[in-house]
Structure formats: structure tokens, C-alpha cells
Structure 1
Amino acid sequence: MNETPSLTRRRLLQATAAAGSLPLQGAAVAASPRPSAAPSCGAAEPRFGQGIEGQRKADLGNGTYRNPIVPGDHPDPTILKDGSDYYMTFSSFQSYPGAVIWHSTDLLNWAPIGAALHRPIGSVWAMDLVRHQGRYYLYIPSLQDEGTAIHVVHADDIRGPWSEPIDLKLPGCIDPGHVVGEDGKRYLFVNGVRRIRLADDGLSTVGELQHAYTPWQYPEDWVVEMFAPEGPKLLRRGEWFYLVSAVGGTSGPATSHMVTAARSKSIHGPWEQCPHNPIVRTTSADEPWWSRGHASLVEGPAGDWWMVYHGYESGYRTLGRQTLLEPIEWTRDGWFRAKGGTLDKPLPKPRGGKPSPAGAALSDDFSADKLGLQWSFFSPGPQEMQRLRFARPGLVLQGKGATLADCSPLTCLVGDRHYEASVVLEIEGEAHGGMALFYDQRGFAGVGFSRTQMLTHHYGQEHSWMREAMDARTVHLKLSCREQVASWQYSTDGKTWKRHPWQMEMSGFHHNVFGGFLSLKIALFAAGRGEVKLRDFVYRGLAA
């Protein structure tokens, strides 16, 4: 799906206006590389508290943690407690494989275990992961060329295989929230906030959408993006159903987005607004996390309670909305309060539970015969995986399109403020390929090579005036990104290096500029007629 950001936003506004509310805003880990393959750009050693390859790690090792618990662009978290295990997934937008499931046993250390969605169905936002009567369900909203839709996939094992997507025939709806009512029937709440009953098997709807809840209204003088009632998530605790939702818009000003709550003794209402609303809100751009919202509640291993939501890191919107964890307490009047403040300091980690792996290696020598979970195609076609051919060691990527903009690059999420990456390219035929920092088809910067030229990309285009003739059949390419400034080095023999003359400032490559709710990713690409073989991709997160 290739839409302009204005069209994307307009479709969402139309969808919510039709709902009668104010505008809405809408595998195995790859093997570690050989030590000799690490980039040599003068990086500092990772600090304590950083994990695999220097990536950020929430667990500080001393009984405390620091947010984010899942760094990088992992927005709209939906979390499931399943016995002593926890599972979580996030909006995956136009990246496929998508809806990657993450696992934890302590609420703090998370690692990916598999993808639930392999066939493109549009730009995927704000899912809901549930287990009902022994089966797992994932309710998936998506933005397609013809508008919004909600699909469902299901599995008997959380690791898959997952079913093919089933369209629930709910046009104009996003942000599903599943709940079982006091009558034992299943319901889906959506943006607006509206409600529809599900069939007992959860794979179709019964009846019509109905108005369910009038969202809490903040004071008129608050600086937010828009009203945007969204993200209803529901749970039952004691005699009450709790409805946790968001208002204020997920982007725009730093003080947009917030967490609100309501409760009712019936899934059919009436709903009572929480006197403590908003439960969470960024009140100043001086805080470390902006636009905090879209929350779900979850019980911790020791019986205490927590809230999982997303937020932008101050000054680093390019990383997207990252997953945050905050403790809550239940008050004597049956409501809950947030206890983490602005999340500017380490907090006591959740009690109980067994430590679990955290993160996953991004580096990849491409020696496996399958694509690692760190990789996804941007805006792929239905047969995109056929572009790949594994050639031990190495991954051959068939060219597509004419430029970086239309070639569906292979992308990798990053969560570090500062990082380095390197890759070896072998160019065949009339292809050209390379490595870029990629937001979407309109915003990217990077360096590529044909067999006879070096090509420079920035501001979402290839600059012909920067082309440089060279024999580039095999190229070693390095990227260094510090303080959101990217610089490049390249070599044709892996020994003698040249620095690319253009250092590229990237801080404006984010949603408030381009729309789409995405983040800046590392991208490996192949365009034109021919192939590019990729070898020895190495990633390293850097200390400040």
C-alpha cells in the first residue's frame, strides 16, 4: 500500500467521524558474527545495562530497571498474561513478516519468538492479543487502499502456526479490544468507543456496532494534537469491568496522548469516569518521555499490577514510540493510580518471576536458511519472499523497482540512540544496492552501488550529481549514526577505507514530518535488474 500521509490521516478522520465521535488519530535469532567483522569506527564499549551487541536493556542488574522495556519502534503494545508466561506484540505497520510475538517470564526482559502475520493485509496498527478457552487470538486492524478493516488470526500454540487472516467485515474500525462479558459472550470494543458482539468462536461478528462509552474530556486549554478517543483495552477485576483508553492524539505536541480509565459492573454500561483521569500524561517537553498513552493493565508475577504503554523518547522521535512499563496501585475506592512519575529515574523491577532472555541479535551472517526475526520487508507484495535466495554464507536479494523508494527494502528496527552497522555487498547484473536509513518511500538516506558507480541517497531521492564512477562489484559499507547524524565509509577490498563526503542529519525523519507513525530503520536494498548478495551484516549499539 503506497498512500500519502495526508490520505492516510484523512481516511482515519473519516472513519472516526462516521462513528459519531470527534477526530481520531489514528524464527530463530541469527548467529552472532565473527569478532573480526565488527565495524572499526572508534566506538566506545557498551555500558553496563546494555544487552546483546550493546543494545539497550531495561534490567539494570541491581533490582531496578529503566525504561524502555522494549526499545525502538514497538508502539501500541498488547500484552497477555498466560500462566507464568507473558506475551506481547506491537503495531507492525507495512513491515512483513509482521505482528512479531515477544515473550517474557518477568515482565521486564523480552525476546521475540515468532511472527503471526506473513501475508500483507495493509498497514497494521494497534492489535489485541488474547487467549480464550485454550486458543490464542490476535485481532488485527489495518489500513488498506479501500479504508480500514479488522482481521483475526488464531493459533493453538502461541509460537504458531497462525491461521490465515479472517476479515471481520468492520469497515471504519481500528484499535480492537476483546472482552468476555458477564453474560459469557465475547465482545470487541473499537475506536469511538463502540462495541460489537463476537460469535462464540471469535471469528465473526453478531449484530451491529453500538455506541458503548463517551470518552473522558480533558480541559480545552490543554495542548494536545486532537481529541482522538482510541485504544480501548478491557479487563475484569472483582465486580468491575475496567475500560482503559487514550485521548489526545498519539503524535503532534509532546504533551499529546494520555491514559484514561472508566469502570462499569456490566459490559453494557453505564460507565463511570475515573476521578483520577488522566492516569498518565506528559505535561512538559522537559520530561524524558513524550505523548505517553495507549495502555493495557497486567498483573505481575508476584500479584502486583503494572501498566504497559508507549511513548516517544525526548528528542528522538526517529526511534518511534517505544514500550514503557509503569507500576500501578489499586486504591481503596477500587480505582488505580500510576506510581512511576515521569519515568526519569530507575524503578524497582517487578517481583517474582524467573529471569528470561532479553532482546535478540541484530547482526546476521546469513548462514541460516530462513530470514531472522529482526528482518522485515517494507510494503511488500504477496510474493516478496521469493526475492530471497540463501547462498551459504550470504543472502541473495533480487532487485525490485527502479530506486530505493520503490524496491521494498529489507529493514531492521533499532532501539539505540547511537549505533554502527556494516555489510558486504556483491553486485550482479544491472542491480544496484546498498544500506540506508529508511523511514518510508518518501524519506530515506543512504549509499548504494551498481557495478560501475557509487550512488548517494538523501531527502528521499537519489542525487545524480553525487554519482562517482568506481569498480564496485564487491563493496564493504559501514554506517555510523551518532546524535542522529549518519556518516558512511566504504571499501572495495575491506582494508582501505574512504569516508563518504556527505554527513546526513536525520532528526526530522519521523511521524510529525512524514506521517505514517513509523520510525527510522536500517535498510538493505536491491533495485534494478539483477541481484545483490548480502554478507556479514554487523550491528553494534554505542554508548553516548
Structure 2
Amino acid sequence: MHRRDALKATALGAMGLAAPIGPAAAAGAGETSLLPPAPATPRKWARGLDNQRKADLGDGTFLNPVLSGDRPDPAILKDGKDYYLTFSSFDSYPGLTIWHSRDLVNWHPRKPALHRNIGSVWAVSLEKHAGRYFLYIPVKAEPNDIYVIWSDHIDGPWSDPVALGLHDHIDPCHAVGEDGSRWLFLSGGDRVRLSDDGLSLAGEVEHVYDPWRYPDDWDVEGFSPEGPKIHRHGDWFYMLTAVGGTAGPPTGHMVIAARAPSIHGPWEHHPDNPLVRTESLDEAWWSRGHASLVEGPDARWYTLYHGYEAGFWTLGRQCLLDHVAWGEDGWFRMTGGDLAAPLAKPEGGEALPHGMALSDHFTAPLALGSRWSFFRPSPDEARRCKSGDGVLHLAAKGAAPSSGSPLLLIAGDTSYRFECDIEIDPGCTAGLVLFYDDKLYAGLGFDADRFVTHQYGIERARPANPHGRRMKMRVTNRAHIVAIHTSGDGGKSWQRFDRGMEVSGYHHNVRGGFLMLRPGLYAAGRGEARFRDFQFTALED
């Protein structure tokens, strides 16, 4: 059995599923048969910075994901020859980093748009109207709300967030009617009118659309109509909606569509709903949804949406690109199947440098919001860190990673290794972590006398530390199997730490929160920790 197939079988076993969903599994009386499992397709990505996988294969094709790691709820904006993209950033700050592309395949990070912690950021709307950029930001907080920020340049500065007072909805989508009126379409088939400047409400929430419903015997998480995206094309307004639940069963999340001759309706269902849905656990991507349409540099049409990589919920929902074909009936359809095989790259666009290095030698100010971000930071969190001259000084906070706002990365490979030289003050504890949230993480820390083992979000064994207050530490995560090594002589020799870990269950379907398992570093207790020469290397299965 191929390594990836074995890992998938392990994941299915953990779900209580002994075989792929397919005709044999769905043959019960009254059940709807699903398509057969997709044929196995070898997948081999190109490799970029730090050996990270990248989509562009260099031969006129690309292989999904176009942006790996946790890139959920993609919000895409076409602005002339430029494309801008951002994602739900949840509890990571600075957040809402804007990514830039000219060919829809190669993406480069620019700057974060949101610096003040206003809560857990969900699916946003990125728009340009009358020469000004807008972000409409739904936030899970106390209370929930939808905020708006604006800027006259995509790199900012962005305005301070303004709450709109929408406490019962998520997933806004800005739309402009044929009469020039501005609207936010919302979860549940609702909408609300905006003021002409887009910065306040100009009416009450109204229900305008009853989404298409799937058969009752499909395995889904819940109806959950969300993520509406409005596009005007020709004589029609098109609405894409996600239903079936974002996580849960891999066959649940799906893309449906409707259209109307006016922004005011009436809306008719697409005859081929659902347009996207995982139908077999043997498919490369699970729980696919939250789709947007965009015109490519070649005047053809494409769609961006998210999905979980089969067997790797720990990586979060990754950003996927598919081709769109318009039919003579005026409807669009996605054509890339389960996205397991390479697809033709859009023509005519400039290929920008893709991605960014995750290794950091700390010779410049910390790249907060692009490379690094804090988990649930306080308003002055950035004051904890100073980077330059080859050293990151990180002031201690809290008693453990759970209370210390660790510094984290988004790593998009199924296997990787990261290591760092760490020096601590007396009274400080520091180390490397694989961090889902403050209740679920793994890794290793140390103080002057002892190690501290982090497992399942608990501080467990504390064996003696033979290296003192400075050591090199390495964490290897090879398809969820974690090994930790330490070195007291600057990396000339390494000792394997006597506690292995397995982290395939560190994900949303276990813990909730819609996050991913992220590598990073922390400092707790008193004083500070000094980090040098952080090295990240993606590993191939």
C-alpha cells in the first residue's frame, strides 16, 4: 500500500469507516447511490522556498492547492491585471493578509489589513467600489458582529474597524445592483442595504432566497447556507452558496448556485445543483465549498474555493482553483472534477514569485501578519518581540502555550521539520510547538533544569534537562508522526527526546474552531527567550 493510501486508511479507520463511500456502501434501500471512488492519480507538486510544495508545475499546468495550508473562505478581487485574495484569519493577528497574483496560480503575500484584535475573523468580502477598497469582516465575539474597513490602496493604511450592528449573520458579500444600490448578502439567504458610502446600514435585514436542498439521505454536517458570493455576468446576477456544513462528513460541504435577472430577484436554482461536492472518500479533496467566480487573464472563467486534503484535516481548508465553462443555457459549470490531476494554467498572466520562506534568521523586523502571527493576542502583543541582528527577543507571557499567545506559522505540507536555537533567562520556559488552539497542542519546552512535554494541550512529563539554558531543538512532523530532537552543542550532535507523538486528531472535527495545526514557538514564565536561526524544511512523503 502506498504511504498516502495507508495514511488515508488510518484516517478513515479513526472515523469508523472501513471502506470508501461508493455504490457498495450506499446500496441500502431508499438511499441515493454515490459515484464510484475516483481512480488513484499520482500527484507530485513542484517545490519552492524551503522545499514547500507549489502549484505551478512549470509546463503550462498546475496542481491544487494553489495556496496550501489553512486558507479558508477565499475572497477574490480582480482589479485590472491584478488579483487580490484574502482568507478567514480567525484568532491569528495581525490578520487578513492580502495575497497578490497576476495568473491565479502563483500568489505572493503583501500586507495584513487587520491589526486590532476584534475577535475571531470568519469569511470576509473583499471589494473595490468607486476606486476604494473595502473589507466586510464577520467576527465571532461578544457580541458577534460584521465590521467594515476601507483603504484607498490595497496595501493600506486601512481604516479602524467599524461595527455595522449585524449580530445574527456571518459571511457577508458586497454586491452592487443594476440601479447602483449597494448591498450585503448574508448567510441564510438574507441581505441588507448599505449606505452609498458602504460604511453603514441603510435598511433592515430581509430574506430574499431559499437555497436548494440536497436529498435527506446524504451524509452532511447540517444545512448551514453560508458564504454567498454574488457575480454579475451578462444579463444575470449569479449567487453561489455553500450548504451542507463546512466540516463534519467529507461528503457534506458543497457548492450550489442560483441566478436572477435583478439584484432584487427572483432567484432560480441551477439545474445541476450541487456543482461541487465530494462523493467518495478516495477523492483528493474533502468538504469542498465557499466558491467564487473570477475572470482570468485569458478572459476565461475560473472558480476559487476551499477543501480539506484527504486524511489531513490538520492542515485546515486549503485554497483550490478550477476551470469554469459557460453553457448556451447561460449557466456555468465547474470542469476539473475532484481536482486530483493537473489542470491547464490560465494563459497570459505574469507569474509572480510564489509563496514565502518560512525559515527566519531574524535579521530584520518580524514579518507579523505574513510569516508570523500571534494566537489571540492582547492589544500590545507586538511589544513582546524584537527581531534583528540574528536574534528574536520574545518576552515571556503566561505559564504555558495555552496562556502565552505563541508565535505561529501556516505550514502547508503534509510533512515538515523545523528547528531553532533557543536561549532563556532564569525563570523562563520556552520551546517549539505544534499548536491547534489553547486547549490542543503538542511540543517540547524547557527551563534551566527540566524539559516540559506538551501533549493533548496538557503539560505532562518533566524529565531532567541536560543542556541548561541554551539548546537547539528540532521538531519533525512526518504525516502526523512527531519526533523531537535536542542538541547541546549547536547541532553537531542530536539526541532524540524520549516521547513520540501522533497528532492526526488535532483538528476541527475533534476540537472545533475551524483552525489548523500550526508550527511555532513560545516563551512563558518570566524574563525573555532568545531565538536564533529558525529553519523550516518541507519533507516529501
Both structures adopt the same fold (TM-score exceeding 0.5): yes
- Percent identity, aligned pairs only, is 53
Q: Who is 1:411 aligned against?
A: 408
After the TM superposition, which residues 238-253 of structure 1 pair with which residues of structure 2 at under 5 Å, given as runs?
238-253=234-249
1:109-124 alignment, distance < 5 Å? 109-124=106-121
After TM superposition, the structure 1 = structure 2 runs for residues 103-502 of structure 1, keeping only pairs within 5 Å, are 103-144=100-141, 146-372=142-368, 373-463=370-460, 465-494=461-490, 495-502=492-499
Q: Deviations over 1:122-169 (max 9, x none)?
A: 00010010000111001111100x232111111111011111111111
In structure 2, C-alpha distance between the alignment counterparts of 1:518 and 1:369, rounded to whole Å: 26
CA apart distance, 1:459: 1.0
Write the distance in 2 (CA, Å) between the matches of 1:426 and 1:489. Answer: 16
Tell me, what secondary structure is at the counterpart of 1:405?
helix
State TM-score, norm by structure 1.
Answer: 0.90
- Residue by residue, what CA displacement relative to the aligned partner does 1:73-125 show, whole Å, maximum 9, x if unpaired? 00000000000000000010000010010000001001111100010010001
Aligned CA RMSD, in angstroms, stands at 1.0
Distance (whole Å) between structure 2 residues aligned to residue 496 and residue 419 of structure 1: 20
Alignment of 1:29-40 (within 5 A): none
Return 384-393 or 238-247, whichever deviates more.
384-393
Match of 1:514 in 2: 511
Residue 358 of structure 1: how far off its partner (Å): 0.6
Query: Is the Cα–Cα contact under 8 Å of residues 147 and 172 in structure 1 kept in the other structure?
Result: no
What corresponds to 1:91 in structure 2?
88
Secondary structure in structure 1 of the residue aligned to 2:47: coil
More contact order relative to length (CA 8 Å, sep ≥ 6) = 1
Alpha-carbon distance in 1 for matches of 2:194, 2:117: 24
CA apart distance, 1:388: 1.1
1:331-367: CA deviation from partner (whole Å, max 9, x where unpaired): 0010011100111111111111111111101110111
1:323 offset after TM fit, Å? 0.2
TM superposition shift of 1:446: 0.4
SS in 1 for 2:50: helix
Matched letter for residue 444 of structure 1:
Y
Contact kept in structure 1, 2:411 and 2:519, CA below 8 Å: yes
Alignment of 1:68-87 (within 5 A): 68-87=65-84
Contact 1:107 1:300 in 2 (8 A): yes
Aligned residue for 1:456, secondary structure, equals strand
| Alpha carbons 1:299, 1:305 under 8 Å: kept | yes
Contact 2:428 2:525 in 1 (8 A): yes
Counterpart amino acid of residue 493 in structure 1: D
**How many angstroms apart in 2 are the aligned matches of 1:472 and 1:377?**
27
What number of residue pairs does the alignment pair up? 496
The answer to whether the 8 A contact 1:427-1:472 is kept is no
Q: Displacement of 1:389 after TM fit?
A: 2.1
Unaligned runs of 5+ in 1: 1-46
Q: Deviations over 1:348-401 (max 9, x none)?
A: 111111111111011101110243521000011111111112352211111111
Deviation at 1:48, TM superposition (A): 6.5
Distance 1:523 1:472 in 2: 21
CA distance in 1, matches of 2:188, 2:244: 13
Whether the 8 Å contact between 2:366 and 2:372 is mirrored in structure 1 is no
Q: Report if the CA contact (8 A) 2:450-2:462 is conserved.
A: no
Q: Which runs of 4+ in 1 moved over 6 A?
A: none
**Contact 1:480-1:486 within 8 A present in 2 as well:** yes
Separation in 2, partners of 1:213, 1:431: 56
Counterpart code for 1:490: T
Q: Which runs of 5+ in 2 are unaligned?
A: 1-43
Following the alignment from structure 1 to structure 2, what is the Cα–Cα distance between the partners of residues 431 and 163?
A: 38
Distance 2:430 2:366 in 1: 21
Contact residue 123 and residue 171 of structure 2 kept, 8 A:
yes
Is the contact made by 1:454 and 1:470 (CA closer than 8 Å) also made in structure 2?
Answer: no
Q: Partner of 1:344: helix, strand, or coil?
A: coil
Please tell me the residue identity of whatever aligns with 2:449. Answer: T
